[in-house]
Amino acid sequence: MKKTFFCIDAHTCGNPVRLVAGGGPVLYGNNMSEKRQYFLKEYDWIRKGLMFEPRGHDMMSGSILYPPHQPENDAAVLFIETSGCLPMCGHGTIGTVTIAIQEGLIIPKKQGSLRLETPAGIVPISYTEQNKKVTSVQLTNVAAYLAAENIVVFCEGLGQLNVDVAYGGNFYAIVDQQENFLGIDNYKAEQLIHFAQIIKREVNMSMNFVHPENETIRGCSHVLFTGNVINANSTARNAVVYGEKAIDRSPCGTGTSARMAQWYTKGKLKKGDVFIHESIIGSIFKGTIAEKLILDGKPAIRPSIEGWAKVYGYNTIQIDTDDDPYALGFQVL
């Protein structure tokens, strides 16, 4: 098998986005949720080949564009990264929109706005341009909610922890600062990655997390550690661990959504507040509550997340299983 992909590379506030602009597979299904399942069954080798080494790296994240299923929408998108084929990706959406508008891959029905179909649901977009470059992207995410509070887990190297789990397009275990976790500044990146694998396993053993409206979205896949802000004007800071050993360099869009839902449910955030969320490297997303909701009997919100991305390169990537033993990628754990 020999397959060629044309990719456009960018980063959203520091975290990579590789948009597959040519060579993506034909998918079958009535919506992007069904097509995500089809991709996982038939084409997950594409994700591994493009995201893992030697063509990618541990932090690599990407997307593939498809025609919309409903005429009122502008495009459909599939999210791929080292951790899997995600229902939703915030930083990936910001990067994908930036690439697609600048490169003419999407012609919007209305200038300055888009409606994207994602596996998690419809995501409305607004964006700004200057000198033919997209300078900011704001997405109104799918409904986010606090799924569980104060799950007690034991993490070797830290001790007993209280963990919340919130959904913002993916399920996140949120580790707030507490007696046995002093904040992200007190640990090395490799320690956070190690702790995250233990916490994720323990959380998933304690409860079965399934989205109430889409049973294909299941399991806590990400861990969000909190810490003190770098800039006094910021609201909060985080480091999101995804996959086996990746830390999001951006503030993480679905993670920001999950944390906003957590704060909203606990009375720490209200509609009209601006939630300025820092990443581990200090880049920021600006979040607001677009709408207050009830989801499966629980308080929920539709978060709005704003950030930026920069296009930096073009890649023609070949996956050839005939003579390359590493065609389908690998990770060094």
Q: Respond yes or no: is residue 7 known to be catalytic.
A: no
In angstroms, the CA 114 to CA 290 distance is: 16
In angstroms, the CA 33 to CA 86 distance is: 10
In angstroms, the CA 23 to CA 235 distance is: 41
Q: Give pLDDT, residue 6.
A: 98
* Region of residue 147 (phi > 0: left; psi between -120 and 50: alpha; otherwise: beta): alpha
In angstroms, the CA 250 to CA 278 distance is: 8
Q: How many CB atoms lie within 10 A of CB 323?
A: 7
| Low-confidence spans in the chain with pLDDT less than 50 | none
Q: Three-state DSSP class for 2?
A: strand
7, 85, 220, 252: which is the annotated catalytic residue? 252
Q: How many CB atoms lie within 10 A of CB 258?
A: 33
Q: Measuring CA to CA, which residue among 238, 206, 234 is closest to residue 225?
A: 238
Note if the pTM is more than 0.95. Answer: yes
Q: Give pLDDT, residue 333.
A: 72
Instruction: Kindly give, in sequence order, each residue whose CB lies less than 8 Å from that of residue 232, ignoring residues fewer than 6 positions away.
Output: none
φ, ψ for residue 301 (rounded to 5)?
-135, 160
In angstroms, the CA 50 to CA 42 distance is: 15
Q: Three-state DSSP class for 269?
A: coil
13, 89, 155, 220: which is the annotated catalytic residue? 89
